[in-house]
Structure 1
């Protein structure tokens, strides 16, 4: 049995892509974990959320954290008059944080401990890599 290839991260959601036997011949071309991510890709608002997360962290002390909702609120405040529009940006903000983890720029924590972004459930915090 051949060795399993190295892990990959989805270009859209930032989660770990689980190797599947059907991808054995095309593993190098696999970029997305599924059809939903393949159709969503990375939109301009996703890039804006990533930039906002980094700018919010840059304005904080070295070990400080932010909640993804802070980035969602900042992006929504600049584009939508609806005060609740930020809620629709929560999952995109979490995806942006996971992509930043993959690039090595931030860490995702729960209860002050670094967690795997692919399996983290519930409230998370984002901080710069120490």
Structure 2
């Protein structure tokens, strides 16, 4: 079972490796953690929401602010710097 801590670490790692302002798709984290990455996406979004609440990540959709748990469709994440 993939823990929330493992997802958190992967999301923060992906964010840290991007240049300032660069975003990434949360599915990158899920794909790195599981072959069945689609099944992991709801948990990845939950952890992303927690990181947003902590002020560590931002979430956008088509360049506009979004929330991982309430936004339908593709989202992008980035480090809050």
Asked if Structure 1 and Structure 2 have the same fold, meaning a TM-score greater than 0.5 normalized by the shorter chain, the answer is yes
Equivalent in 107, 110, 121 of residue 58 of structure 2:
107
CA distance in 1: counterparts of 2:32 and 2:73, whole angstroms: 21
CA distance in 2: counterparts of 1:104 and 1:86, whole angstroms: 25
CA distance in 1: counterparts of 2:27 and 2:67, whole angstroms: 19
Q: CA RMSD in A?
A: 1.7
Question: Tell me, which stretches of 5 or more residues in structure 2 are unaligned?
Answer: none
Give structure 1 regions of 4+ aligned residues with deviation exceeding 3 angstroms. none
Question: Tell me, which stretches of 5 or more residues in structure 1 are unaligned?
Answer: 1-42, 77-82
Cα shift readout 1:35-91 (whole Å, capped 9, x = no counterpart): xxxxxxxx8621111110110111111111111100001111xxxxxx4x1111111
SS of the aligned residue for 1:65 comes to coil
Larger radius of gyration: 1
2:32 is matched with which residue?
74
1:64 is matched with which residue?
22
SS of the aligned residue for 2:3 comes to helix
How many pairs are equivalent?
81
**Higher RCO (CA-CA < 8 Å; seq separation 6+):** 2
Taking structure 2 as the reference length, the TM-score comes to 0.87
Shift of 1:117: 4.1
